[in-house]
Amino acid sequence: MEQQLRVWLRYTVVLGLYVSPRKRPPAKKSPQLSAEAAASVHGKRVAWAGRSKLGFRYRLKIVYLHALLPWICVLYVNALIWHELVGEVMLSWLLTILFFSSQAFSNLLIAAEGIWRRQQHEEFLRRLQEIELSLKLRLKQDVNVGWLVRRVRCLLEYLLWLTFICYALFIYYFASMQYVGYFWYSIWFIITMRLRLIQLLIYVRVLQHYMKCLCMKLQQVVAYRMAPNRQLMDINYEKLQSLEYLLAIKEVYALLFKEFQLLNDFAGWSLFSIVLSYMLDCGCTLYWTLLSGEAYEERRKYRIAGFWWFVPMTAIVWHLCLLCDNCMKLDRVIAELLSKIIITRPSKSLHSYRLLVHQFSTQLQLQYIEVTGKSFFTLNLRLIMSIGIAISTYMVIAIQFLTI
- pLDDT digit string (tens) for 327-356? 999 999 999 988 887 665 556 567 788 888
* Average pLDDT rounded to a whole number, residues 343-372: 80
Name the band, by pLDDT with cuts 50, 70 and 90, for residue 38: very low
**Residue 30, C-beta contacts closer than 8 angstroms, at least 6 positions apart:** 39, 40, 43
Name the band, by pLDDT with cuts 50, 70 and 90, for residue 72: very high
Pairwise CA distance, residues 304 & 285, whole Å: 11
Q: What is the pTM of this model?
A: 0.87
Across 22-31, 105-114, 257-266, 321-330, least confident range: 22-31
Q: What local confidence, expressed as pLDDT, does residue 24 receive?
A: 46
Q: What local confidence, expressed as pLDDT, does residue 348 receive?
A: 59
* Average pLDDT rounded to a whole number, residues 361-365: 88
The domain limits of the chain are 2-18+39-403
Pairwise CA distance, residues 402 & 387, whole Å: 22
CB-based contact 207:256 (threshold 8 Å): yes
Instruction: Name which residue leads in pLDDT, 36 or 278.
Output: 278
CB-based contact 370:328 (threshold 8 Å): yes
* Average pLDDT rounded to a whole number, residues 85-106: 74
At residue 296, the 3 state secondary structure works out as: coil
Instruction: Name which residue leads in pLDDT, 226 or 116.
Output: 116
CB-based contact 265:121 (threshold 8 Å): no
Name the band, by pLDDT with cuts 50, 70 and 90, for residue 58: confident
Tell me the DSSP string of 241-307: TSHHHHHHHHHHHHHHHHHHHHHHHHHHHHHHHHHHHHHHHHHHHHHHHHHHTTT-GGGTTHHHHHH
Instruction: Name which residue leads in pLDDT, 116 or 394.
Output: 116
